[in-house]
Amino acid sequence: MNHYKSGLERKEKIIGAAKKCFYEHGYKGTTIAMIAEMVNMPHSLVAYYYKKNQLLTQIHEEYILEILRAIDRQVGEKLDNVLQRHLLLLQLQYQGIYSDERNHAIYRHMMDNSLLSPMITEIVNTYLMECIKEFGIDLPPEVCYQYIVAQYGAYKELTRVYLKEYDLPTNRPLHYFSGTIALRLAGIGERIIAENVDKVEMLLTQMDMSQVRFLV
pLDDT tens digits, one per residue of 41-78: 999 999 999 999 999 999 999 999 999 999 999 999 99
Query: What are the start-end ranges of the H helices in the chain?
Result: 2-29, 32-39, 43-49, 52-75, 82-98, 101-112, 118-134, 141-157, 168-178, 181-186, 190-204
pLDDT of residue 7: 79
pLDDT tens digits along 133-186: 999 999 999 999 999 999 988 888 877 777 665 565 677 888 899 899 999 999
Q: The pTM is what?
A: 0.91
Q: Summarize pLDDT for 1-50 with one digit per residue, the tens.
A: 555 557 789 999 999 999 999 999 999 999 999 999 999 999 999 999 99
Give CA 116 to chain center in angstroms: 8
pLDDT score of 83 more than 90: yes
Q: What is the pLDDT of residues 196-213, one digit of tens each?
A: 999 999 999 999 999 999
Cα separation, 154 vs 163, in Å, equals 12
**Within its chain, how far is the Cα of 203 from the centroid?**
18
Are 216 and 20 in contact by the 8 Å Cβ rule? The answer is: yes
* Contact between 153 and 72 (Cβ < 8 Å): no
Q: Tens digits of per-residue pLDDT, 87-134?
A: 999 999 988 888 888 998 898 899 888 888 888 889 999 999 999 999
